[in-house]
Structure 1
Amino acid sequence: MNTFFAETDAVGGSLGLSAAVAALPLVTFFIMLLGVKARAHVAGLVSLIVAILVAIFGFSMPWDLAGMSAIRGGLYGAFPIVWVILMAIWFYQITVLSGRFEDLRRTFDAIGGGDLRIQAILIAFCFGGLLEALAGFGAPVAITATMILALGVKPLKAAITVLIANTAPVAFGAVAIPITTAGEVGGKDAATIGAIVGHQAPFLAFFVPLILLFILDGMKGVKDAWVPAVIIGASFAVAQWFTATYFAYQLTDVIACIVSLGVAVVFLRFWKPRGVAGVRERYNLPPLDVNAKSDLTPMRVWMALMPYAIVVLIFGIANLATGVATWLKTTNVAVHMPLLKERLVTAAGKPVKSDYSFTWLNNPGSFLLISGIIVAILYMIFNEKGRYALRFGDVVQEIGRTAYRMRYSALTIVLVLALAYVMNYSGQTVAMGEFVAGLGPIYAFLAPSLGWIGTAVTGSDTSANALFSKLQVAAADNLSHQGVTGVTPELLLAANTTGGVVGKMISPQSLAIAATAVDMEGKESEIFKAVLPWSMVFLLAVCTLVFLQTNVLHFLVTGH
């Protein structure tokens, strides 16, 4: 049988040359976006073709395996990734169709004193973090982007805001699946890795609200509202640190988001926003009528918040109730991929795991569908004498309208995941990783860049850890043999996870999701150019922190 295993030095027997050739698909994608200014799905298609050609002619992968790798990735892109995003936007649209979203906006007005900057931080950072903790898969970006857009924030700023806000919680997203994966693949204790990540991610979390202020309203916004931004960031960071270190790393984001949101609500009862009139004028919004009496009743506030309470409840039961979570896994359907299962092997001759798991029920999209149906039914029952009339037919039709609206973004995501799987199975991604890992002692500084690359390619911190965890452990062992002190496998696994956090905002998948949510389909390149500098700054900060953890800040690894 004509089997294939990935060789990371396949091009001319040189790891460096192989890594350079392996980078061509990614370079092509970003050149197409920024240089040619092609639409994202066109850039994805061209890059996929380049990846297949590199796999065949550079890494000697048989053409049929390269094609089947693309199909395998495309399937995963379509389901569950596109399914999750479709359901997230549809779920939001239910609140719009019912008229309840306007009440939600006014509720955030009341909490933030009419300051859209504070409201945007509460939605993108605190609420978005809670969605990331439970759902992941792009759902937080899709939902919070539409909510911030409704506040009056311009589409580009809304997209940038949610992508940057989504950095801090990603490491512990979807009940800390990235960290659990790092532990399983790397053969190390996940709780120890989670504790180290809990000593890295909070440094990002503290500064994110201040950065969001700057994005939303420049230095004027920072001067006006730095106090609540610091309070929100600090409370999130402290809760994240404590939970990851002393409690349960799986619940880190859930607790951090609830704590920061609660602290913000209490603080804003005593602190009055400054410059509200100015920011509303700069956003061309009508002046805030401070004398107007709100007709929001407690019942209307509850009905506006109720959809998201149901989301938290459904996701909490699905992920945290052991019996339910175990049962849900039994509903997964394993689909064997022809060719890949028989012919794709490791260097040792063992089959590479290539089955496609059809998680028709056990995925965030299906949980959102269930949540949406429950919300729609409750809205139809409690319609306050027709004031919030909602027809079930409209709810069903909205799925079709949403699917049509995001058709190009869906195609982009399918193509990007196809690209990622071709690069992964052919050895291109690992070739880049091994090249970076072979740079000697400086690797302690560069370790997070592997997670950054992996997440930028796949759109998933979990996937980045699945790709590079073994490599990070091997790199730590090699550095130890070279006499480099302070570098432990757990530290590098944590570095891979936190590096992936700051790479997610430039992932083509994330760009497509954000563009769809804010009605900027085809303008992904504008979003990319805006978030790339922030991603690089964050990466430099994480690399510096990890390097310091190998020496002067080693107590952040050992705990003493």
Structure 2
Amino acid sequence: MYTQIFDPVAHSIAASAAFAALPLLTLFVLLGVLRLPARWAALASLVVSMIVAVFAYGMPGGQVVSGALEGAAIGFFPIIWIGINAIWLFKLTQESGHADVLRRTLAHVSPDQRVQAVLIAFCFGALLEALAGGGAPVAICAVLLISLGVEPIKAATVCLIADTSPVAFGALGLPITVLAKITHLPVHDISVMVGRQAPLLSLFIPLMLVFILDGRRGLKEVWPLAAVAGLAFAFAQFAGSMLLPVELVDIVAALVCAGASIAFLRAWAPAVLRADLNAPQGVLAQSGARGAAATNNGGHGAGLQGAALAMPMTGGGAAFERNPQQDARARAAFADTPRDSRAEILRALAPYAAVILVVAATQIGFIAHAMGALTSTFAWPGLHVVDPKGAPVSAVTAKFEWLLSAGSIVLIAGALSVPLLKLDARTAARTYVKNLHELRWAVFTVCCVVGVAYIMNLSGQIVTLGIWAARAGTAFAPVSPVLGWFATALTGSDTSANALFGMLQLTTAHHTGLSDILLTAANTSGGVVGKAISPQNLAVGAVAVGMVGREGQLFRRVAGWTVLMIAALSLLVWAQSTPLLGWMVP
């Protein structure tokens, strides 16, 4: 039996926290400073966490190994499991050619790449996050942007930043429902509080995306659409958190955002277009097909790069001269792009509609009961860990919802989509195997990172860091979202971050006199920012745009933006902990 101790180094919380922080420091230094691939940075962090657990905390080596294996198992199922199946779902549309239909449909809304980035990365990405999460929005939206001519690294950066604010209510509200179970706080109260924090990010993210693509000129020319998209999503998320079940908040917000953006574009267009002006007419319709063909012949990364190289533009078209004649040529090129029939467009959307239908079916009592019957709950072998009071640590019990997990729901939807897309079972199976092979390093990275989280949680390193942070007293309020930021960056999942730090935030609230609803919600809201720099999302994004092994480059692109966002959230949470904005706490 291993009994957790939170001050093992010289009976000092500060000294112990210095050791407990080593795995996190290892991960971020190797990834962001030394530019190692995410898989090796994650593996090194895992090794450091095991060494600290054994030699600083005195945890038996056998239990350390067992805890790492449990974390790896959870990292695969359910965390990366949803990403695997969501990307496979999109690859099915590529195999059938309907990814091009979807791309052309989105392109016909506007020929401007900055507009397309807002619609795809923010609006469509938010819907994917609401339905599935797990890195799927980054992978799918990055592929779509590349097929429209966006530079690969910009496409990945834009999608990583866009996949933040929807995360709190993502994967059918899973982060909030897990937090409520752990803390025994009302789901609705947490939802309302998160709805008064996360929408702050939603207001500004579309503006960030436009700036990343086209700098200040982009902001000057496209800010009206970015403002409409941000306001629509933020308002719908804020209102939905109070009026809707937590599972539906982001689904409704994404649909409202998309509807408002498309309606606005019917009455407004950028003064200057940013499109592929040098390409002959019809090249935009053909490039995606060439990219898909390259994917089939030369691997996922090569195919995506092929789709990007098929477009002569670079960096979102920053080198193009601007004049009315070129704008006219751009509009003509897009006007000549073939339009697909309504039936083909509906078929392209069928996989995502299938996800919604399967999700709805799981809300029906007898179906949910039947699917829930295939659930395994058991004590993980080799783990005998108790807290200082002698109570078993919750992480020693593993639970696998084989059919009710979000990843399995997407897998079922994918199987239903095969005949709808006019594909055969052999093609679907071959695509799945190929997808697993392409994501092998992303899977390895996630398993290592979640292994780190489990070792730190089981050994007591996580609690040590929390106790040290709680010494700030009421000044802890602005630190609260930072913990969620770090935890999500470490685990790649806001849900896992809530599982790690939810009780810590609750305990800290009770010791400092701060609101427990405020701090627990701040953990979730801060976690959405950490999603952008998590090794899981970086690995998935790198695979999607053909940059495997260059995750450090993506990390440096997005890290500054996440610092800006977490600083804004910290300021907001601090104000909500004072009479200034205390009225916002339910």
Alignment RMSD (CA, Å): 2.0
Counterpart for residue 467 of structure 1: 500
Counterpart for residue 352 of structure 1: 393
1:89 to partner: Cα distance:
1.9
Contact 2:112–2:275 under 8 Å retained in 1:
no
Counterpart for residue 29 of structure 1: 27
Matched, 1:538 2:579: no
- Which blocks of at least 5 consecutive residues in structure 1 are unaligned? 381-389, 481-486
Task: Choose the corresponding residue for 1:327, options 349, 370, 376.
Answer: 370
Counterpart for residue 198 of structure 2: 201
Counterpart for residue 506 of structure 1: 533
Q: CA separation in 2, counterparts of 1:95 and 1:272?
A: 30
Task: Choose the corresponding residue for 2:480, options 431, 443, 447.
Answer: 447
Contact 2:484–2:522 under 8 Å retained in 1:
yes
Matched, 1:528 2:552: no
Q: CA separation in 1, counterparts of 2:439 and 2:451?
A: 18
Instruction: Give the secondary-structure state (helix, strand or coil) at the position aligned to 1:276.
Output: coil
Write the mapping of 1:122-271 to structure 2, written as runs, cut at 5 A.
Answer: 122-271=119-268
Q: CA separation in 1, counterparts of 2:414 and 2:454?
A: 32
Q: CA separation in 1, counterparts of 2:340 and 2:186?
A: 49
Percent of aligned pairs sharing the same letter:
40
1:322 to partner: Cα distance:
4.4
Write the mapping of 1:427-438 to structure 2, written as runs, cut at 5 A.
Answer: 427-438=460-471
* Corresponding letter in the other structure for 1:313: L
Matched, 1:549 2:576: yes
Counterpart for residue 51 of structure 1: 49
Q: CA separation in 2, counterparts of 1:516 and 1:261?
A: 27
Q: CA separation in 2, counterparts of 1:434 and 1:277?
A: 51
Q: CA separation in 2, counterparts of 1:207 and 1:455?
A: 21
Flag the 1:176–1:160 CA change in 2: closer, same or farther, 3 A: same
After TM superposition, the structure 1 stretch with the greater mean CA deviation from structure 2, 191-200 or 303-312, is: 303-312
1:213 to partner: Cα distance:
0.7
Task: Choose the corresponding residue for 2:406, options 361, 364, 368.
Answer: 364
Counterpart for residue 284 of structure 2: none
Contact 2:111–2:334 under 8 Å retained in 1:
no
Q: CA separation in 2, counterparts of 1:374 and 1:247?
A: 28
Flag the 1:123–1:277 CA change in 2: closer, same or farther, 3 A: closer
Matched, 1:115 2:128: no
Contact 1:429–1:454 under 8 Å retained in 2:
no
Q: CA separation in 2, counterparts of 1:503 and 1:125?
A: 17
1:133 to partner: Cα distance:
1.6
Q: CA separation in 2, counterparts of 1:34 and 1:557?
A: 36
Task: Choose the corresponding residue for 2:380, options 326, 334, 337.
Answer: 337
Task: Choose the corresponding residue for 1:394, options 423, 427, 436.
Answer: 427
* Corresponding letter in the other structure for 2:527: G
Contact 1:135–1:315 under 8 Å retained in 2:
no
Instruction: Give the secondary-structure state (helix, strand or coil) at the position aligned to 1:477.
Output: helix
Flag the 1:267–1:145 CA change in 2: closer, same or farther, 3 A: same
* Corresponding letter in the other structure for 1:10: P
Counterpart for residue 521 of structure 2: 494
1:360 to partner: Cα distance:
2.8
Counterpart for residue 104 of structure 1: 102
Q: CA separation in 2, counterparts of 1:310 and 1:454?
A: 32
Instruction: Give the secondary-structure state (helix, strand or coil) at the position aligned to 2:377.
Output: strand
Contact 2:39–2:442 under 8 Å retained in 1:
yes
- Which blocks of at least 5 consecutive residues in structure 2 are unaligned? 278-312, 321-328
Deviations 1:429-480 (A, max 9, x none): 2211221112122112211111112212212212222222222222222222
Counterpart for residue 387 of structure 1: none
Q: CA separation in 2, counterparts of 1:405 and 1:450?
A: 32
**Normalised by the size of structure 1, how large is the TM-score?**
0.91
Q: CA separation in 2, counterparts of 1:451 and 1:513?
A: 21
Flag the 1:413–1:376 CA change in 2: closer, same or farther, 3 A: same
Instruction: Give the secondary-structure state (helix, strand or coil) at the position aligned to 2:585.
Output: helix
Aligned residues: 537
Contact 2:79–2:493 under 8 Å retained in 1:
no
Counterpart for residue 373 of structure 1: 415
* Corresponding letter in the other structure for 1:373: A
Deviations 1:120-170 (A, max 9, x none): 222221222122222222222232222222222222112111111111111
1:293 to partner: Cα distance:
6.7
Contact 1:159–1:514 under 8 Å retained in 2:
yes
Contact 2:104–2:339 under 8 Å retained in 1:
no
* Corresponding letter in the other structure for 1:240: Q
Q: CA separation in 2, counterparts of 1:352 and 1:277?
A: 55
Q: CA separation in 2, counterparts of 1:15 and 1:302?
A: 59
